[in-house]
Chains A and B, each alone.
Chain A
Amino acid sequence: MVVNASQDDPEKARRFREAALPYLDDAYTLARYLLRDAADAEDAVQECYLRAYKHFDSYRGPAMKPWLFAILRNVCRAEYARRKTAPTVVEELPEGGDQTPMWNEAPETPEKQLLRRFDGDTVRKLVAALAEPFRETFVLREIQNLSYREIADVAAVPVGTVMSRLARARAMLRSAWLAEQEQVK
C-alpha cells in the first residue's frame, strides 16, 4: 500500500493525520464487530485509511468519525462479498409490515430480578453474535455513540430504518443476555 506521488503532499498528510488518526481505535473496533476477525479487521482499517486519504480533498465535514465509518463500512461489505461463506443476513421487515415474530411479538415479560453484569469478553461475544444489519446499527449506537442521523448516513438508510433496526437489535441482545444469564446460573 503506497500512496502515489501525485498525492504526496506533506501538508495534506499532516492535516489528515491530525483529523483521522485519533479515530483509529474506533475504526478498528467497528471493523472487528463487522468482520468478526482480527486479521480481516486490520486489513479493512488499513484500506479504509488509504481510501479516506485519497478522498480527503473532497471531505467537507462536519464529523470525521461518521465519514471514516462510511468508508470503512464499504470496505467491509466488499470483504463480505469476497468471503466464500457470506454471513447470514436476517431479512428485514418491509416498512410497516409487522409480521415477523422477533420484536413485533411483545417481548416476554421483563424479569423481576436485576440483570446480571457480564465481563467484557462475554458482552463482546453477545454483541458479535447479533445478525447483520442489526449488529452494525447496534455497534454504531452503543459502542461508537453515533446519533441516529449519523448512523443513517453511515449505513445509507433512512432514520426510520435506523430506529427499527436498533429496536430489533436491542430486543435480540436482551434475549441473548437473558439466555446467557440463565445458562451461567
Chain B
Amino acid sequence: MTCEEAEVLIHALIDGELDAGHAREVEAHVEGCAHCAALMKEYQEIRQAIAESDVRYKAPLELRRKIEKALPQPQPQAAPTRRSVLRGFAMGSAVSAMAATGLVAIVLRNDDEQRIENEVVSAHLRSLQAGHLIDVVSTDQHTVKPWFNGKLDVSPPVIDLTAQGFTLIGGRLDYVNAREIGAVVYKRRQHVINLFVAQTANTERKTAKISTLQGFNIRRWSDRGLNYWAVSDLGADELTEFGDKFESAMRANKEG
C-alpha cells in the first residue's frame, strides 16, 4: 500500500468503516510508516478535540414554537390544557380561547381587567431588569414592525414618535395573561414606556383610562380590535400626552 492510498484509507480506519481485511492492510502500512502513523495520530487528536468541544448549536425556542404551531394540534382535551389555551389565543382572542376549550365567556370582568393591569406592570418591571428590555433594537419603525411578523398573530402598530418627543427604541415579545404579547418600547428622557398590544374580539373603540399601580401609570385604551396598555414611571400628564400622540398618529395613518 502506498502512502497516497493510506492517506485516504486511514480516515475509514479511524471511523471504523473498513472491513477486517482492509483494516489489517492499513494498520500494517501505518506500523511501518512513521509519516502515516504520525498523521493518523494527529487526525485522531483533532477528532477527539472536536468531540470534546462545544461545536453544536441549539435550536432557538422561537423556531421550535413556530414548527409546533404549523403542525396540526392534538385533539382538544376535555379539560383545557395550557397548550389548548394558547392555541385558542392564537386564534385571536380570549373569547375564542375559551370557546375552543369548551368554556363560555362573555366579557372580561372588572377583576380580570385589574389582574391584567397587574400583569402588565409586572411585565414592565421585568423589562427593566438588565438585558431584558428589547429583543429587537431599532429606532426605525420599518425594522421593528416586520420583526413582530410571524412571532405574533397580531402585528402591533409601530409608530415613530421621535418628532413628538418619544423615541422608539425597539420591540420585545412578552407574556401577559397566559399569552404572548407584543411590547413596543419608547423612551422619553430616561423614562421607559412599554406599549403592550394585544388582540381583542371586541372591535369597539374604548377611550383611554389612566390608572396607577405600584407607582406606575397605566394608560389603557382599545381601538380597532386591539387593546393597548402604555406603562411607564412617567407622570400621568406625560403618559397621556404619549397616548394622545400615538392615537392621533394612528388616525393620521388610517386616513393617509
A interface, CB within 8 angstroms of B: 1-3, 7-10, 12-14, 16-17, 21, 24-25, 27-29, 32, 41-42, 45-46, 49-50, 53, 98, 103-104, 106-107, 109-111, 114-115, 117-120, 123-124, 127, 141-143, 147-148, 163-164, 166-167, 170-171, 173-174, 177
Q: Given A24-B63, A143-B56, check contact A10 B75 (CB 8 Å).
A: yes
What is the bound-complex CA distance between A14 and B74, given in angstroms? 7
Residue of chain B at shortest CB distance from A144: B56
- B interface SS class: helix
What is the bound-complex CA distance between A124 and B53, given in angstroms? 9
The listed residue with most A CB atoms (<10 A of its CB), out of B42, B51, B71, B74, is B71
| Interface membership of B46, Cβ < 8 A | yes
A-chain residues with CB within 8 Å of residue B71 when the two chains form the complex:
3, 13, 16-17, 53
Q: Is B55 a contact partner of A148 (Cβ separation < 8 A)?
A: no
B-chain residues with CB within 8 Å of residue A110 when the two chains form the complex:
35, 38-39, 41-42
State the interface size on chain B (CB cutoff 8 A). 42
What is the bound-complex CA distance between A127 and B57, given in angstroms? 13
Q: Is A163 a contact partner of B11 (Cβ separation < 8 A)?
A: yes
Q: Is A147 a contact partner of B17 (Cβ separation < 8 A)?
A: yes
20 A-B residue contacts at CB 8 Å?
A: A1-B66, A8-B72, A10-B75, A12-B72, A25-B57, A28-B58, A45-B59, A45-B63, A46-B63, A103-B7, A103-B8, A107-B7, A107-B39, A110-B39, A120-B53, A123-B55, A142-B47, A166-B11, A166-B15, A177-B46
Q: Is A106 a contact partner of B11 (Cβ separation < 8 A)?
A: no
Q: Is B38 a contact partner of A143 (Cβ separation < 8 A)?
A: no
A-chain residues with CB within 8 Å of residue B54 when the two chains form the complex:
119-120
Residue of chain B at shortest CB distance from A121: B54
A-chain residues with CB within 8 Å of residue B3 when the two chains form the complex:
106
Q: Given A45-B63, A106-B35, A147-B17, check contact A25 B8 (CB 8 Å).
A: no
Which of chain B's residues 123-159 have a Cβ closer than 8 Å to chain A?
A: none
**In angstroms, how far is the closest chain B Cβ from the Cβ of A5?**
9
Which of chain B's residues 31-71 have a Cβ closer than 8 Å to chain A?
A: 35, 38-39, 41-43, 45-47, 49-60, 62-64, 66-68, 70-71
What is the bound-complex CA distance between A11 and B51, given in angstroms? 37
**In angstroms, how far is the closest chain A Cβ from the Cβ of B2?**
10
A-chain residues with CB within 8 Å of residue B46 when the two chains form the complex:
115, 170, 173-174, 177
What is the bound-complex CA distance between A151 and B55, given in angstroms? 19
Residue of chain B at shortest CB distance from A122: B53
**In angstroms, how far is the closest chain B Cβ from the Cβ of A29?**
5
The listed residue with most A CB atoms (<10 A of its CB), out of B39, B41, B47, B51, is B39
What is the bound-complex CA distance between A49 and B65, given in angstroms? 12
Residue of chain B at shortest CB distance from A28: B59
What is the bound-complex CA distance between A8 and B64, given in angstroms? 19
| Interface membership of B12, Cβ < 8 A | yes
Q: Is B7 a contact partner of A167 (Cβ separation < 8 A)?
A: yes
Q: Is B70 a contact partner of A2 (Cβ separation < 8 A)?
A: yes
Q: Is B35 a contact partner of A123 (Cβ separation < 8 A)?
A: no
B-chain residues with CB within 8 Å of residue A42 when the two chains form the complex:
60, 62-63
Q: Please give 18 more A-B residue pairs, beta carbons under 8 A apart, in addition to A103-B7, A120-B53, A164-B8.
A: A3-B71, A10-B72, A10-B73, A13-B73, A16-B71, A24-B59, A24-B63, A41-B57, A45-B63, A49-B67, A106-B4, A110-B35, A110-B38, A111-B42, A119-B54, A127-B55, A148-B17, A163-B12
B-chain residues with CB within 8 Å of residue A141 when the two chains form the complex:
15
B-chain residues with CB within 8 Å of residue A25 when the two chains form the complex:
56-59
